Structure 1
Amino acid sequence: MSVRINIHPSFEVLAATTAARLITKLLDTQNERGEATVVLTGGTVGIATLKAVVNSPACAAVDWSKVNFWWGDERFVPSDSPDSNAVQAREALLSHIGVDPERVHVMGGSDLFPDAAASAEAYSRELAGAAAREHSMDDDGEDLDTTALVWRALPRFDVLLLGIGPDAHIASLFPEMAGIRVRDKLVVGVENSPKPPSGRISLTLPAINSAQEVWMVVAGSDKAGAVGLALAGANPVQVPAAGPAGQVKTLWLIDQDAAAKVPEKLMLNGSR
């Protein structure tokens, strides 16, 4: 698994370049497999990237009807709330590109479930159902270890997008809280989140790390400390941003401000 660091001169260039990179990756994956799967994130730079996809001249080259969309996390708010990551993604991208509604897998809101844990359990079942359909084509009945069994409860994630908070949280996995420690579940409900709203749903770190490629997309000087600690190899329990690692590739796509505290040896060669 390779780790690459790409530093961009501004927020705007970061969003536009990440959008172009995503379009290219989806095209390449569709050419190879016929479809592609992306896990979306929220946040300022995440949503800006989705808007940049729509504004790209190459947007129409992707067959969006054959792209599967999942989410890394969601705020436990009503399904139509403007604070919902899914609502923001719909406004920025999904309503503009002719997606197949059956391929869009949102996390259930507070109008549908009594609490975040119930929504997380339902999302786990949805992931497992998609994985079962995917694996039924090539199931040879071999014995599998625990890690393989976890991954077989997940569909293939070609690209998983993540942002980072100033406290180094990823998705809705916060430092020192229970969610970042979970290893035996795919999705967790988060209560008493230090960042409003208090209720959230999140993929766990093992689910995140099942992705073929994980892209850490980060902008702003307030994120520089978290980026620096993560790339220096901090403990993921204290610095969740240090935990993501794609099966094939991990990309750090960051702007100049967020790169201010990246260890110098990594700045020189762009990898670790």
Structure 2
Amino acid sequence: MVTVTRVRDVEQLCTLAALDMIELIATLQGPGGGLHGDGIARVVLTGGGAGIGTLEQLAHFDRCAAAQEDSFPALRIDWSRVHVFFGDERNVPTDHPESNEGQAREALLEHVNIPEGHIHGFGLGHGISMDEAAESYAAALDRWAPKGFDLHLLGMGGEGHINSLFPHTKAVKETKDKVLAVRDSPKPPAERVTLTLPAVNSASQVWFLVAGQEKAEAAGHILAGSDFLQWPAAGARGTAETVLYLADDAAGPAGGTPAANS
């Protein structure tokens, strides 16, 4: 089952998702909390307008909480007890404008007190091959998130792609490996490394961040549970909860619940 959280626009989406993340992560950080029972939250970040906008809001709320902590303490994430992962990465160095990790660092990670060793990037663009990066990242998942993730954020393309899992590609058909090198992405750049559906579906919580009229049809297929080979987003489900944050412009004709069209 997918829970739909309707919002007015992408700005409201980013604000609400960030507030919900703060509440969720703070809860996970309680004694014995989280999927691993160690009070450490394991979170997969996503790029795109809504994904990066949500990270910017998290940074904003963290600054606000810090500024008022003496006079009026607010709920706040303990970033020393968060491990961050990425759903996919383009084959570029971190300082490249198209790097998901680079964008996440600029939007959030450089502004909060998260240990560098808790940021798990793919390491691309520094002399490592994509196959080596995929193998290394799979090992990192086994070490730092052996039971899966507490939260996986997902953006989505108009054709329903998530991470670098595109319709009818080898990557979306993967049923065993959690990380794959992709050399034929239909969306440039062609070369990427991605988490697969087995990795996504190891998450307790999967949250879609969806805004834009061009995404209405794909959003309907998420709700309908359509064939994930044609609509990859339809194959992503959290083990505890799946939430679709849906802006009005992505909610189909006349603002109604999106309808899945065959």
Q: TM class by shorter-chain length? A: 0.7 to 0.9
1:177 to 158, 165, 169: 169
| 1:111-260 → structure 2 map (5 Å cutoff) | 111-114=126-129, 116-131=130-145, 154-260=146-252
Q: Which residue of 2 aligns with 1:108?
A: 123
TM superposition score normalised by structure 2: 0.87
Q: What amino acid is the match of 2:11?
A: E
Secondary structure of the equivalent of 1:257?
helix
Question: Structure 2: any 5+ residue segments left out of the alignment?
Answer: 34-38, 67-74
Give 1:256 deviation, angstroms.
0.4
Post-superposition shift, 1:262?
10
Paired residue type of 1:50: L
**Equivalent in 66, 83, 90 of residue 75 of structure 1:** 90
Alignment partners' CA distance in 2, 1:228 and 1:203:
23
Q: Mapping of 1:28-107 within 5 angstroms?
A: 28-32=27-31, 33=33, 34-56=39-61, 57-58=64-65, 61-107=76-122
Q: What CA distance in whole angstroms lies between the structure 2 residues aligned with 1:226 and 1:193?
A: 19
Structure 1 stretches (4+) deviating beyond 6 angstroms? none
8 A Cα contact 1:225 1:261, kept in partner: no
Higher mean C-alpha deviation, range 81-90 or range 220-229: 220-229
- Deviations for 1:246-269, whole angstroms, at most 9, x for unmatched residues? 0000000110011116996x67xx
Q: Which residue of 1 aligns with 2:72?
A: none
Structure 2 contact 248–255 (Cα < 8 Å) conserved:
no
- Contact between 1:227 and 1:262, CA under 8 Å: does it hold in 2? no
Question: Number of residue pairs matched?
Answer: 242
Q: Which has the higher contact order (CA 8 A, sep 6+)?
A: 1
Q: Deviations over 1:55-88 (max 9, x none)?
A: 1234771111111101111111123212100000
SS of the residue 2:29 aligns to = helix
Cα distance change, pair 38–219 in 1 and its aligned pair in 2 (3 A) = same
State the one-letter code of the partner of 1:123.
Y
Residue pair 1:213, 1:248 contacting (<8 A) in 2 also:
yes
CA–CA distance in 1 between the matches of 2:197 and 2:207? 14
Change (3 A) 1:3 1:204: same
Give the Cα separation in 1 of the matches to 2:84 and 2:144.
12
Q: Which runs of 5+ in 1 are unaligned?
A: 132-153, 268-272
Letter in 2 for 1:129: R
Query: Quick one: percent identity of the two aligned structures?
Result: 40
TM-score w.r.t. structure 1 length?
Answer: 0.84
Whether 1:20 aligns to 2:19 is yes
Deviations 1:132-162 (A, max 9, x none): xxxxxxxxxxxxxxxxxxxxxx343111100
In 2, the alpha carbon distance for the partners of 1:54 and 1:179 equals 33
> Could you say which residue in structure 2 is the equivalent of 1:137?
none
Cα contact 2:7–2:247 (8 A) shared by 1: yes
Distance 2:118 2:136 in 1: 16
Which stretch shows the higher mean deviation, 199-208 or 252-261? 252-261
Where 1:61 maps in the other structure, the secondary structure is: coil
Work out the CA distance in 1 between the residues paired with 2:107 and 2:255.
34
